[in-house]
Chain A
Amino acid sequence: MRLFITYLIGLVFGIGIAISGMANPAKVLNFFDVAGDWDPSLAFVMGGALIVTMIGYRFVLKRPGPMFSGAFQLPTRRDLDLPLIAGSAFFGVGWGIAGFCPGGALPALGTGRSEVLIFVAAMVAGTLGAKWAQGALKRRAQSTAEV
């Protein structure tokens, strides 16, 4: 039952992404192309998603906890560090090159288009490679600290 509800939440997200145009790289790239064929739609996607999430979170996060799980798992860090900013800048470059972001590409897989599969495969390789590098950096920092 929980898994089915989780599936439905994913479905709502996927339908939202598909309707909004976020699964269409041409539309995403045209949003950023202010000097060319500008398509402002993406601002409306972000706006719609933000308004609903801001209001919804206010109510949900007042509750003692989530329905199916012990506690809300929210990021707690508030500091701004180099990986956050450099990583985000890097992410933006990739988004500008390919036109897909992770949230847009995953639902787009459902269209069965080979271009989406190629992008997602590369993205997964990048993600796992970065995770491995993060782990290696952490281990090195720890072993240096022990010495």
Chain B
Amino acid sequence: MFETVFTPFQSLGGGALIGIAAVLLMATLGRVMGATGILAGFFQPADRSDWLWRAAILAGMVSGPVFILFVTGEMPTVQVPVSTAMLVIGGLIVGVGATFGSGCTSGHGVCGIARLSPRSIVATATFMIATAITVFVIRHVIGG
């Protein structure tokens, strides 16, 4: 387990950038900034141009940490406090859950709630509670 430092200003600023990206994507392509949907369509695109914009935005996302490396001289911190098995199981569950649930933190939690979509508000409340319970069980019931 890692202790992490509370970063209110960085997190608020980073959050604002996420919001700016979501607004710009709606203004230009008319699309929701949902990571799950963008990724799913990248593997199963409707046509060539549909694949191209998804490839471009994914390339941009992946470039984010590299940009930070150039500006600050350091990669952003990634601390993984879980085992490889948990990454695989967690990844599979995240993929299945976000697909059946029609979205994840970015699609429901940001874009959907910003439009006051009842589905997104319920979905976000549901996964936040499920995540909190899961973390509690893993850290304080099983582990500890």
Residues of A with Cβ closer than 8 Å to B? 2-27, 29-30, 32-37, 39-42, 44-54, 56-57, 60-61, 63, 65-75, 77-80, 83-104, 106-111, 113, 115-116, 118-131, 134
Give the contacts of B1-51 with A (CB-CB under 8 A).
Answer: 1-8, 10-36, 39-40, 43-44
Flag if B16 contacts A52 (CB, 8 Å).
yes
Question: How distant is the Cα of A129 from the Cα of B84 in the complex, in angstroms?
Answer: 20
17 more contacts with CB within 8 A, not counting A73-B31, A84-B102, are A6-B56, A14-B67, A16-B16, A17-B14, A18-B65, A19-B11, A26-B80, A45-B14, A71-B30, A85-B123, A87-B97, A94-B93, A102-B105, A102-B106, A111-B76, A124-B95, A131-B40
Flag if A69 contacts B92 (CB, 8 Å).
no
Given A49-B15, A98-B86, A123-B91, residue A92 in contact with residue B76 (CB < 8 A): no
Interface residues on B, range: 35 or more
Flag if B93 contacts A25 (CB, 8 Å).
no
Q: Contacting A119 at CB < 8 Å: which of B30, B31, B66, B91?
A: B91
Would you call the interface of chain B mostly helix, strand, loop, or mixed? helix
Question: How distant is the Cα of A85 from the Cα of B120 in the complex, in angstroms?
Answer: 10
Flag if A92 contacts B130 (CB, 8 Å).
yes
Question: How distant is the Cα of A7 from the Cα of B62 in the complex, in angstroms?
Answer: 10
Residues of B within 8 A of A2 (CB): 28, 53
Residues of A within 8 A of B8 (CB): 40-41, 44
Given A9-B21, A26-B4, A98-B82, residue A57 in contact with residue B26 (CB < 8 A): yes
Nearest chain A CB to B22's CB is how many angstroms away? 5
